Structure 1
Amino acid sequence: MKLFRYGPRGHEKPALMDAQGRARDLSAVISDITADTLTPAGLQALRALDTSALPEVAPTALGRIGTPWRHTGKFICIGLNYRDHAAETGSPVPQEPILFNKWCAATGPNDPIVLPQGSQKTDWEVELGIVVGSKARYVEPAEALQHVAGYCVVNDVSEREYQMERGGTWDKGKGCDTFGPVGPWLVTPDEVPDVHNLSLWLDVNGKRYQTGSTRTMIFGVAELIAYVSRFVTLQPGDLISTGTPPGVGLGRKPPVFLKPGDTLHLGIDGLGEQRQRVHAWDASLLD
């Protein structure tokens, strides 16, 4: 299944894409897509539906696409998880996964990216997201995939000065408002034949900067879930963003960073695409 939500911020409706690629409204079945929807029981109930009987939503009626599920839980990220990305940043290949958090609530896949006040070094990172569907605590890699509700596209927007030049943890450069576009869909594992063979790409102003594949991840999906579950209990609705391939702005010579008016277009095979426009600081775009 491909689950998504559409409509104005705070008033999204639940929906899915049927086998023919048509949007079907789920409002008569569930009030919203929440953590409960992502549990094995919740997903099984949706799989049992006759999707042809659900109201079709015309593409012109979809409007804004929100996050695929309401109230993303913990937003946990993995740093330097592609060897070639570590190399372009001049960093050693990590011996264990690097963990950091995004404090911000996730935003819709096409919502604005708003630069923090005074930001000069905001960067992009297309990433595969793992959506947790059941409680995971000290799980073994062999059992880890049983806890996956689905996968999604994430743009791990990053302010490099805040992340690397201001002391402390990476989190301060990763958790700014609007720095977590997610979606458009949550794609269940049955529609992702090989999560370790997905192409990722990202364009800025029509120019291709990132091209990669999940084949080159250092730590795979099952290993990451197992590892994270040793430090914090994962719950339905939590999101793990698994790192980015090479091609970030920081790695260019000279570096390239985002500025107001820039546009981003990014995607992952089978998981959909995102489009964002970069804005100068404007609090009205945050609410």
Structure 2
Amino acid sequence: MNLVAFTASGVQHWGVRAPGGVLALSGEFPQWRTLRNVIAAGAIPAVLDAATGRLASHTEGSFTYDIPVADPEKIICVGLNFPDRNAEYRDGEAAPPNMSLFIRFPRSFTGHGQPLIRPLESPQLDYEGEIAIVIGRPGRRIPEGDALTHIAALTLCNEGTIRDWVQHAKFNVTQGKNWDRSGAMGPWLVPFTEPSQIADIQLTTRVNGEVRQQDRTSRMLFPIARQIAYISTFTTLVPGDIIVTGTPTGAGARFDPPVWLKPGDVVEVEADGIGTLRNGVADE
């Protein structure tokens, strides 16, 4: 079973996937307002036990998916983490000694099934399919060998980017990475139980059914355990924090000429064992 956050009839809920829809459980556990609270309490097993054998409370079409963890303390994104993606920069550096990082805000994401929003200020909306991890155990200076035990769950991310705004300044990408609802996250949280769930899985991004990005986590320049260890060196990771782990080559900016997302397009990000995050595109 997977954990979901959703809205039905204007009311936000959390619960689990169930046959034909979702089962709301938030009303049964009022002490945990959001899935972040469930994660912080170490209560994922208890929640899944409570859902065993039960039917959906809300059928597909009667609710909308929300971002699984809508209230994280921080979302940290890893850039240039696949060999072919790094090679796009043509700087002669095969593998940088340290990972590139930047921050995104929760408001810059929307849920599964909701449109990515192309802003008035630029047509250059691009996609970046990624796997995201959600921290379950807090830690500072986490040893790499212990890092995976700090993961609570996995989800998917379309790290949508406004490309020309990434280049507005010399030293940062913040402006291009944080437009409201320019990216997506979801559809759900897959509880993390063993390293094989992320060790060598395929990550694929499709636009209108065409494969644009595809690679395997085993080819990451900085594996996920290394990401957790490095990031926790300078900041304490807390339950509900999200690390977006990097995208393969093949974003629209790398076509000649570039191919930007436009209203009517459908973007799908899929990873083995996690699922498929699907979003359309709409103008603001």
TM-score of the superposed pair, with normalisation by structure 1:
0.88
The answer (yes or no) to whether the contact 1:119–1:159 under 8 Å persists in 2 is yes
Question: Where do 5+ consecutive residues of structure 1 fail to align?
Answer: 282-287
2:115 matched residue in structure 1 = 112
CA deviation string 1:81-115 (max 9, x = no partner): 00111123435432211110113423212222112
Helix, strand or coil at the partner of 1:13: strand
Identity level (%): 32
2:98 matched residue in structure 1 = 96
1:39 matched residue in structure 2 = 40
Amino acid at match of 1:260: P
CA deviation string 1:208-236 (max 9, x = no partner): 21122112111111110111111211111
The structural deviation recorded for 1:253 is 2.2
Structure with bigger strand share is: 2
Q: Pairwise CA RMSD of aligned residues?
A: 2.3
CA deviation string 1:194-214 (max 9, x = no partner): 302111111212222112211
Helix, strand or coil at the partner of 1:114: strand
The structural deviation recorded for 1:29 is 2.6
The alpha-carbon distance between structure 1 residues 155 and 10, as it changes in their structure 2 partners (threshold 3 A), is farther
CA deviation string 1:167-214 (max 9, x = no partner): 341111111111331111111112773302111111212222112211
Amino acid at match of 1:243: G
Question: How far apart in 1 are the matches of 2:20 and 2:113?
Answer: 19
The structural deviation recorded for 1:124 is 0.5
2:29 matched residue in structure 1 = 30
Helix, strand or coil at the partner of 1:185: strand
Helix, strand or coil at the partner of 2:186: coil
2:265 matched residue in structure 1 = 262
**Number of aligned residue pairs:** 279
Amino acid at match of 2:242: L
The structural deviation recorded for 1:33 is 3.3
Helix, strand or coil at the partner of 1:45: helix
The answer (yes or no) to whether the contact 2:8–2:62 under 8 Å persists in 1 is no
After TM superposition, the structure 1 = structure 2 runs for residues 1-287 of structure 1, keeping only pairs within 5 Å, are 1-8=1-8, 11-17=11-17, 23-31=22-30, 32-39=33-40, 41-49=42-50, 51-52=52-53, 54-57=54-57, 59-90=59-90, 92=93, 93-105=95-107, 106-190=109-193, 193-281=196-284
The answer (yes or no) to whether the contact 1:75–1:102 under 8 Å persists in 2 is yes
Question: How far apart in 1 are the matches of 2:194 and 2:142?
Answer: 24
Question: Where do 5+ consecutive residues of structure 2 fail to align?
Answer: none
Question: How far apart in 2 are the matches of 1:208 and 1:69?
Answer: 28
The structural deviation recorded for 1:165 is 4.4
Question: How far apart in 1 are the matches of 2:114 and 2:256?
Answer: 29
TM-score of the superposed pair, with normalisation by structure 2:
0.89
The alpha-carbon distance between structure 1 residues 141 and 153, as it changes in their structure 2 partners (threshold 3 A), is same
Of 270-279 and 56-65, deviating more is: 56-65
The alpha-carbon distance between structure 1 residues 194 and 60, as it changes in their structure 2 partners (threshold 3 A), is closer
Question: How far apart in 1 are the matches of 2:195 and 2:282?
Answer: 34
Helix, strand or coil at the partner of 1:234: coil
Question: How far apart in 1 are the matches of 2:183 and 2:195?
Answer: 22
Amino acid at match of 1:231: F
Amino acid at match of 1:252: F
The structural deviation recorded for 1:49 is 2.8
The structural deviation recorded for 1:6 is 2.1
The alpha-carbon distance between structure 1 residues 17 and 193, as it changes in their structure 2 partners (threshold 3 A), is farther
Amino acid at match of 2:25: L
